[in-house]
Every structure is written in C-alpha cells, then in structure tokens.
C-alpha cells in the first residue's frame, strides 16, 4: 500500500484536499509519479515549479494555450520499499539539450511514470500517426538519460485538467495525466471505486475524455525507433 494525496478544484472553485492509502500498483502509481520536484511549467504568472502549483492555476499547454489546472496528485517515492516494481524506487534524470537545444533547458528530474510526446517520421511509417505518448524511461541510455536512486524518500507529482493535454516542462513535451482506456486499468469494480475516489472532480473513468495521442509501451517505442 501507498499513501496518495490530492488537491482538487470543486465546482464552486474551492481547493480541497484528501489523502488515503491505496495499492502500490501501476494503475494508481501512474497518476502520482510523473514529475520530480523542480519540474518547471509556464503559468499565467510565469515559470512555476510543480510543487508550487495549485488547482485553479492556469498552466500553459502546447496544444491549447493556458488551461485551468483541476487536480494535483502527489506521493512519496521510497527508494528501499521492497513491495514495489524496481523502477518505482528511482527517478529519471534528463541532461540539458538531450532532445535538442533547450530540450530540456537544464537537467530535469522526472518520476518513473513520466510520458513524453514523441514525434518521428518512423511513427508515420510504422503506425500511420505523427506522434505518440511514450514512457520517458524508454530513452534511458545511461549517459544523457539515466536512473537516479534518491538517498531519502522524495515527492513526485502529476497534473490533471478537464482534458488530456501536452505540457511544456523545462522545454520538453510531457503529457498531463490520463488513465488511458478503462480496460488498461485492469481494476475490479471495488478497486475502480477506490481509484475514482482519488479524483473527486469526475464521476467515471470516461469523464477524463479522449487521449490526445495514442500510447506506446517501451517495447513498442524500441520497435518504432529501430525502423
């Protein structure tokens, strides 16, 4: 089990918070382990670190300009927690300019569930699409992108809006939270109810809306990059 904490915007524009334990499984962890402290997003007030964002803030998206942040999720990543998948005890460091000049602008530390927008001619050739959402961990090469094991427990975060968006974080394109297809969650009815209780702003998984881009697994990314 893990303790997950959320802050969300109510219909009356109030900020409320809640925290509760839930299983340490991918369906839940995906919603809380994307961004490390110090990840910078552009907002209506200028560059802001993820840990300082609040529901109601307007955050710049790549696809739709400024959008109102509706939900912030956070959890504690514990490096020596035994009952977890190995990557959940590690952060991912992306060195400056890894994806081009200013992408990122400086070293960026992300959580194990971060996903980025990947655009490549091979996506069009192999999949018939111009881009896809892929696990950032799929680019780990041990040199310009590598795992970091924190010395002590650290906070990780995720952000959710009314719709699925592409965010600009330190100059690279990362996705806002979306659970994917309902079938991908692989949760029982009882567990799905617990899951939805962490998103008080919605009533059912379908309320997250459509995904902005299709998703690829790390293995599928390798196949596309090899094309």
pTM (2 decimals)? 0.95
In percent, the amount of the chain with pLDDT more than 90 equals 83
Question: pLDDT > 70: what percent of the chain?
Answer: 99
Task: Say which range, 21-25, 123-127, 183-187, 202-206, has the weakest mean pLDDT.
Answer: 123-127
Tell me, what's the pLDDT at 209? 95
Phi, psi of 127 (to 5 degrees): -120, -15
Residue 131 has pLDDT above 90, yes or no: no
Provide the token pair at 59: 């955050």
Q: Say what the pLDDT of residue 124 is.
A: 76
pLDDT value for 227: 66
Instruction: Give the model's pLDDT for residue 4.
Output: 99
> What pLDDT score does 80 carry?
86
> What is the distance between the alpha carbons of residues 30 and 33, in angstroms, rounded to a whole number?
6
104 cis-preceded (ω within 30 degrees of 0): yes
List, in order, residues 6 or more apart from 35 with CB less than 8 Å away. Answer: 50, 110, 111, 114, 156, 157, 158, 159, 169, 174
Query: Given strand 154-160, what is the order of strands in its sheet?
Result: 15-22, 2-9, 71-77, 154-160, 35-36, 108-110, 91-94, 145-148
The DSSP letter of residue 152 is S
Instruction: Give all domains of the chain, ordered by start, each with its CATH number.
Output: 2-114+135-207 (2.170.16.10)
pLDDT (tens digit per residue) in 168-221: 999 999 999 999 987 788 899 999 999 999 999 999 999 999 999 989 988 988
pLDDT tens across 94-115, in order? Answer: 999 999 999 999 999 999 999 9
Report the alpha-carbon distance of residue 99 to residue 18 in Å, rounded.
Answer: 37
pLDDT for position 120? 86
């Amino acid at each position: 089990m893990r303790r997950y904490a959320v802050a969300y915007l109510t219909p009356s524009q109030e900020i409320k918070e809640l925290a509760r334990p839930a299983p340490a499984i991918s369906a839940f962890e995906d919603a809380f382990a994307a961004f490390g402290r110090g990840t910078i997003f552009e907002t209506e007030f200028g560059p802001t670190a993820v840990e300082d964002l609040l529901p109601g803030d307007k955050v710049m998206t790549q696809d739709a300009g400024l959008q109102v942040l509706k939900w912030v999720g956070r959890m504690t990543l514990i490096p020596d927690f035994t009952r977890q998948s190995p990557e959940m005890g590690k952060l991912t460091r992306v060195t400056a300019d890894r994806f081009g000049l200013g992408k990122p602008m400086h070293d960026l530390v992300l959580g194990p569930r971060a996903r980025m927008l990947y655009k490549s001619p091979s996506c069009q050739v192999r999949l018939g699409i111009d881009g896809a959402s892929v696990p950032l961990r799929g680019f780990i090469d041990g040199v310009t992108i590598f795992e970091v094991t924190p010395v002590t427990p650290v906070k990780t975060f995720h952000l959710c809006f009314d719709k699925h968006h592409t965010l600009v974080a330190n100059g690279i394109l990362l996705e806002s939270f979306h659970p994917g297809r309902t079938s991908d969650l692989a949760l029982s009815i009882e567990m799905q109810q617990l899951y939805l209780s962490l998103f008080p702003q919605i009533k059912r998984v379908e309320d997250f809306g459509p995904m902005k881009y299709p998703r690829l697994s790390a293995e599928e990314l390798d196949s596309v990059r090899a094309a």
